[in-house]
Chains A and B, each alone.
Chain A
Amino acid sequence: MPSWLAGRSYLRLALGLFVVLLAVNIALNPVRFAPASLGVTIGLASGLILAAIASMPPILAGRGGIDISVGPLMGLVNVVVVRWLVEGLGIESPFLIVPLVLLLGLLSGALNGLLATVLRIQPIVATLGTSLFYAGITLTIVPSPAGTVPGWIKALAGPTSIVPLAAVALLWLLVKRLPFYEQLLCVGSDDRAAYTAGIPVTLVRFLAYVLAGLVAAVGGLCLTGLIGSADPNIAGTYTLLAISAVALGGVSLAGGRGGLVAAVLGAADIFLLQTALTFFNVSTFVLQIVYGTVLTVAVVLNADRLRQLLRRRRHA
Chain B
Amino acid sequence: MTDGQAILTAHGVRLAPGAVPIDFAIGPGEIVGLAGLEGHGQEAFIQALCGLNRPEAGEIRLQGKDGRAVQVTEFAKAAAQGLAYLPRDRRTTGMLGGLSVFDNFAIAALPDHQRLGIVDRPRLREKLAHFTRELAMVYRSPHASIGTLSGGNQQKVLLARWLTREPRVMLMNDPTRGVDLGTRMKLYEVFRRLAADQGIPLVILSSEIEEILQLCHRVLVFREARLFAELDRETMTMDRVIAAMFGQEAA
Contact = CB atoms under 8 A, between A and B. Distances in A.
* A-B complex is real: yes
B93 A193 contact: yes
Interface string A240-257: 000000000000000011
Given A189-B96, A190-B97, A200-B76, A182 B103 contact: yes
B107 A192 contact: no
B195 interface: no
B52 A196 contact: yes
B99 A189 contact: yes
Contact of B96 (A178, A193, A201): A193
Contacts of A84: none
A179 B143 contact: no
A193 B98 contact: no
Interface string A134-175: 000000000000000000000000000000000000000000
B15 to A, nearest CB: 20
A189 B125 CA distance: 22
Interface in A1-38: 7
Interface string A174-210: 0001110011011001101111111111000000000
A198 B75 contact: yes
B55 interface: no
A178 B121 CA distance: 11
Given A177-B118, A177-B119, A199 B98 contact: no
B106 interface: yes
B119 A178 contact: yes
A178 B99 contact: no
A183 B111 CA distance: 10
Nearest to B91: A193
Given A177-B118, A178-B117, A186-B107, A196 B93 contact: yes
Contact of B98 (A179, A189, A195): A189
Interface residues of A, number: 22
Interface string B84-113: 010100001111111100010011101100
B76 A199 contact: yes
B114 A196 contact: no
A196 B75 contact: yes
B143 A7 contact: yes
Interface in A277-308: none
Contacts of A192: 92-93
A186 B99 contact: yes
A190 B96 contact: yes
A179 B85 CA distance: 20
Contacts of B96: 186, 189-190, 193-194, 197
A193 B92 contact: yes
A195 B107 contact: no
A178 B110 CA distance: 9
Contacts of B107: 182-183, 186, 194, 197, 199
Contacts of B87: 196
A177 B122 CA distance: 12
A33 to B, nearest CB: 37
A304 to B, nearest CB: 10
A199 B161 CA distance: 13
B79 interface: yes
Contacts of A256: 98
A182 B119 contact: yes
A25 B143 CA distance: 38
A83 B94 CA distance: 52
B22 interface: no
B107 to A, nearest CB: 5
A185 B98 CA distance: 10
B93 A178 contact: no
B215 interface: no
Nearest to A202: B76
A139 B159 CA distance: 56
Nearest to A195: B75
Nearest to A181: B119
Interface in A212-243: none
Given A190-B97, A256-B98, A198 B118 contact: no
Given A7-B143, A189-B98, A196 B85 contact: yes
A198 B80 contact: yes
A196 B94 CA distance: 7
Name, among B85, B97, B98, B107, the residue most crowded by chain A CB atoms within 10 Å (CB to CB): B107
Contact of B110 (A179, A196, A201, A257): A179
Contacts of A196: 52, 75, 85, 87, 93-94
6 contacts: A178-B114, A182-B110, A183-B107, A190-B92, A198-B80, A199-B107
Interface of B: 52, 75-76, 79-80, 85, 87, 92-99, 103, 106-108, 110-111, 114, 117-119, 143, 161
